[in-house]
Amino acid sequence: MRQHQLAGLCRVQGWDYRLLGTGFDGYNVPAKKLVPWNMHVELHVELPPDRDPSLRDSGLGELSGTGINLFVGSDQVRFYRERREVAVDEVPAVLYSEVMRDVDLFTSVCAIGEDET
């Protein structure tokens, strides 16, 4: 996903997220407090793995002028209550639906292509 665009959408949708760079902030995930339910949610993202040099330049080398990675990969969505992970079937349906609308927005707008794996 395009990281700068993701960060902008996170702000608009009320999620906390700081841009990731290769030399700093190695672990930061978009997160949102869900106060009425005493929960929070995280969308796990990672810096891209180093690409095969025969295909294209390294994914880790795709940086902005200030050293921020241009792209991140998305992973799991996890819900927490009091710092403990909550099983998806324990998340209220309306809450799950609203969170997944945000995640769908992030992944569809910020996508750079489909990953078949």
- Which pair of structure tokens corresponds to residue 101? 């609308």
Residue span of the structural domain in which 26 resides = 3-109
pLDDT of res. 50:
59
Residue whose C-alpha is closest to residue 20's, from 62, 60, 67, 68: 68
Cα–chain-centroid distance for residue 115? 15
Could you tell me the CATH number of the domain that includes residue 30?
3.30.310
Whether residue 26 lies inside any domain: the answer is yes
**Is residue 114 situated within a structural domain?**
no
Write down the pLDDT at residue 51: 54
pLDDT given for residue 58 in this prediction:
47
Residue 98 scores a pLDDT above 90: yes
Range of 12-16, 20-24, 66-70, 112-116 with top mean pLDDT: 12-16
State how many domains the chain has.
Answer: 1
Q: What is the pLDDT of residue 7?
A: 95
**Between these two residues, 105 and 49, which has the higher pLDDT value?**
105
- 105 lies in a domain? yes
- Is the predicted pLDDT of residue 54 greater than 70, yes or no? no
CA dist list (Å): 10 to 29, 49, 77, 92: 11, 23, 14, 22
Residue 46 lies in a domain: yes
Q: Within a domain: residue 117?
A: no
Residue 28 lies in a domain: yes
Residue 44 belongs to some domain of the structure:
yes
**Is residue 115 included in any domain, yes or no?**
no
pLDDT, residue 79, reads 98
Instruction: Say if residue 57's pLDDT is above 80.
Output: no
- pTM beyond 0.85: no
